[in-house]
Structure 1
């Protein structure tokens, strides 16, 4: 069960996705935010190559609620091809809201990642599964009944970064970055240029060129991007 980024989004997606570090730098140059690492940290980095998925947002809230975690389990039975589960508000309880069972279910339905503002468990098992998982902390106990799903598909916020259902999310082994659909194409293209320039710098350094000269390709891209800062 696979879905390509071109099938998920209406904007043009670069054939070669940039690294999240390059995209985060470009966002800084444009005076924007969007990276979720930190505060989230890796529990399963996944493949090194970047993946672009669509956010599927879940907002958690304290207390048992009417249906507890039932809506989350129901969601994990749906088609999640190409989606990144974004769970916000799960830090209201000390227990883990994500673990091996939910990871296995998400993989079976085609998800490409899970971002959890809260704790996860079964970390050794998660390391042997291919779903990219970034979360706030690790916990041994489960969430008990003191947390519930308040909303699926709405707008959520993690550490000041707003995430809407369907927003593009770039993940790789270095981090997670969220974009807005209306600006994603231009930012991804700029980040691809930035990433390529950084690779040219590294190649020049390996060939023996000193950093002040080797850095020129990246300096040119940075100057160009600063010149049209949004």
Structure 2
């Protein structure tokens, strides 16, 4: 994972991102003329109560490829061993109908300090993963294993993920991944700190709007006072 930040600072940033919403992050990216960082609506938490996902991207690339069941995909294990504290494993590459990992790989990733996964494919053992406190956002779930069908071919390299407003979104090592009830979004590494500060500002305004609406301010007057948020 390529993060040019001192580890304590990187973790402080990650913790602050856990307090902001993807919707505000998306609005800030629009302000920066980065309007196409949202990921496809198909990405959803597994299980549904997995919680917010926030961390530094470490991409893992695979492809559909037949190989002997006994090989057990050692390249997958190698890629997972590269994960560092605060990282989100970003699983990419062609593949349909199979899971890219299940409970045991999730345990191994969490042991490395990884804080969640974003999967352009399937996962299984959903109920057990839910007990790990390891947020996983994926396109689908399936009982069908990857061994013998889908193989890791590279890691720590730029990958493409399905986009919300474009066909694909490039995710590079050290970009930031944020996902919540509204969906998932990728924040380019160079913009991470600016986006965070501005998203926190927008969130603060929203708190004040909700407070005043609760105290009786009409929506029309709130819009006149605060503008569009």
TM-score (norm 1): 0.80
Residue 74 of structure 2: aligned partner: 70
Structure 2: distance between partners of 1:8 and 1:170:
19
* TM superposition shift of 1:205: 1.3
Residue 163 of structure 1: aligned partner: 171
SS at match of 1:92: coil
SS at match of 2:81: coil
Can you list the C-alpha shifts for 1:85-121, whole angstroms capped at 9, x where unaligned? 00002x5231111211111111111111101100111
Residue 118 of structure 1: aligned partner: 121
> How many residue pairs align between the two structures?
213
The residue correspondences of 1:1-230 to structure 2 (distance < 5 A) are 7=7, 13=13, 16-17=16-17, 18-31=20-33, 32-36=35-39, 38-44=41-47, 45-47=49-51, 52-64=54-66, 69-78=73-82, 80-89=84-93, 91-159=94-162, 160-216=168-224, 218-219=226-227
C-alpha contact (below 8 Å) 2:83/2:109 kept by paired residues: no
Structure 2: distance between partners of 1:130 and 1:60:
25
C-alpha contact (below 8 Å) 2:79/2:154 kept by paired residues: no
* TM superposition shift of 1:65: 6.6
In structure 2, list runs of 5 or more residues that go unmatched. Answer: 163-167
Can you list the C-alpha shifts for 1:60-91, whole angstroms capped at 9, x where unaligned? 112137977321222333452110000002x5
Structure 2: distance between partners of 1:15 and 1:39:
26
Structure 1: distance between partners of 2:39 and 2:58:
15
Structure 2: distance between partners of 1:217 and 1:118:
44
Give the 3 Å change call, closer, same or farther, for CA 15–130 of structure 1 in structure 2: closer
* TM superposition shift of 1:130: 0.7
Give the 3 Å change call, closer, same or farther, for CA 162–149 of structure 1 in structure 2: same
Can you list the C-alpha shifts for 1:10-51, whole angstroms capped at 9, x where unaligned? 7x9497432222102222344422222523111145445xx6
C-alpha contact (below 8 Å) 1:93/1:147 kept by paired residues: no
C-alpha contact (below 8 Å) 2:60/2:79 kept by paired residues: no
**RMSD (CA atoms):** 2.8
TM-score (norm 2): 0.80
Q: Answer with 155-164 or 191-200: which moved more.
A: 191-200
